[in-house]
C-alpha cells in the first residue's frame, strides 16, 4: 500500500513539473537587437467562381484563398453551361480538368509549381493509371502530396475523374 501511495505521488510530482515546464518561457538575447519585419497575410477569405451560374446553382465556390493557402474544389470535365464534355474519354477529361485548374491558379497568380496537395477521384482507376503519366506535363518542378481514390460515382454519371488542389503561395 505504501508503494502504491509512493508511485501515485511520484506520478503527480512528475506531472506537475511537466506542466510547469510547459508554461515556462525562455528568453534569448543577442548582442545586436535589430528590428524584425513581421508580415501578416490577409486572413479574409477571397472566393473565386470559375463558372458563377453553375457554381451558384450547385451551391459551391470553385476556390477560396485565405492568407497564403488556396483550396480549389474538384474540377470535372464540363463546358460553361455545366454539360459534361469528353464523355467516355478519361484521358481527355483529365486534360480538361487540368485546363480548368490552371485558370483558377492563374486567377490567384499561381502555377502548378505552387500546388502542395492534389487529390484525384476516378470511377475507373485502371484507366487512370494508364494515363496518369500526363501529370508529368503538369508538374515540371515537383509532384505535390495527395491521394488517388477510386470511387463508385461522381456528381454526374458522365464524369470519370475529378481533381482537387490545395496551394500554398507565399505573398
**In this predicted model, what pLDDT tens digit does every residue of 59-81 receive, in sequence order?**
999 999 999 999 999 999 999 99
Q: Convert the pLDDT of each residue in 6-60 to its tens digit.
A: 444 444 444 444 434 444 444 444 556 666 666 655 689 999 999 999 999 999 9
- 14 located within any domain: no
Between residues 1 and 33, which one has the greater pLDDT? 33
Instruction: Give residue 27's pLDDT.
Output: 45
Distances, alpha carbon 63 to alpha carbons 4, 134, 144, 164, 165, in Å: 58, 24, 18, 10, 9
Please report the DSSP string for 100-130 in residue order. HHHHHHHHTT--GGGEEEEEEEES-HHHHHH
Instruction: Give residue 144's pLDDT.
Output: 98
Categorize the per-residue pLDDT at 170 as very low, low, confident or very high, splitting at 50, 70 and 90: confident
Structural domain of residue 84, as residue ranges? 46-168
Between residues 10 and 105, which one has the greater pLDDT? 105
The answer to whether 31 and 39 are in contact (CB under 8 A) is no
Grid coordinates belonging to 119: 487529390
- 85 located within any domain: yes
- 141 located within any domain: yes
Which helix (H) or strand (E) element contains residue 17?
Answer: helix 2-23
- pTM of this structure: 0.76
Q: Convert the pLDDT of each residue in 128-152 to its tens digit.
A: 999 999 999 999 999 999 999 999 9
Size (the chain), residues: 171
Instruction: Give residue 38's pLDDT.
Output: 63
Grid coordinates belonging to 19: 506542466
Least Cα distance to 118 among 140, 96, 153, 148 occurs for 148
Categorize the per-residue pLDDT at 154 as very low, low, confident or very high, splitting at 50, 70 and 90: very high
**Pairing between β-strand 115-122 and β-strand 145-150 as defined by DSSP bridges:** parallel
- 12 located within any domain: no
Distances, alpha carbon 62 to alpha carbons 4, 15, 87, 98, 122, in Å: 60, 48, 22, 13, 19
- 11 located within any domain: no
Instruction: Give residue 151's pLDDT.
Output: 98
- 26 located within any domain: no
- 50 located within any domain: yes
CATH of the domain at 58: 3.30.1330.40
**Total number of domains constituting the chain:** 1
- 139 located within any domain: yes
The whole-chain average pLDDT of the chain stands at 85
Amino acid at each position: 500500500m505504501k508503494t502504491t501511495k509512493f508511485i501515485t505521488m511520484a506520478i503527480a510530482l512528475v506531472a506537475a513539473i511537466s506542466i510547469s515546464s510547459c508554461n515556462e518561457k525562455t528568453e534569448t538575447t543577442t548582442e545586436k537587437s535589430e528590428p524584425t519585419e513581421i508580415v501578416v497575410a490577409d486572413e479574409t477569405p477571397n472566393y473565386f467562381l470559375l463558372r458563377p451560374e453553375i457554381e451558384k446553382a450547385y451551391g459551391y465556390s470553385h476556390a477560396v484563398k485565405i492568407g497564403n493557402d488556396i483550396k480549389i474544389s474538384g474540377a470535372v470535365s464540363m463546358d460553361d453551361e455545366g454539360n459534361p464534355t469528353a464523355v467516355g474519354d478519361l484521358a481527355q477529361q483529365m486534360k480538361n480538368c487540368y485546363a480548368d485548374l490552371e485558370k483558377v491558379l492563374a486567377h490567384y497568380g499561381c502555377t502548378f509549381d505552387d500546388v502542395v496537395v492534389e487529390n484525384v477521384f476516378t470511377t475507373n482507376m485502371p484507366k487512370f493509371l494508364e494515363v496518369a503519366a500526363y501529370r508529368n506535363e503538369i508538374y515540371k518542378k515537383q509532384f505535390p502530396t495527395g491521394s488517388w481514390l477510386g470511387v463508385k460515382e461522381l456528381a454526374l454519371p458522365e464524369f470519370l475523374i475529378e481533381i482537387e488542389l490545395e496551394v500554398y503561395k507565399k505573398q
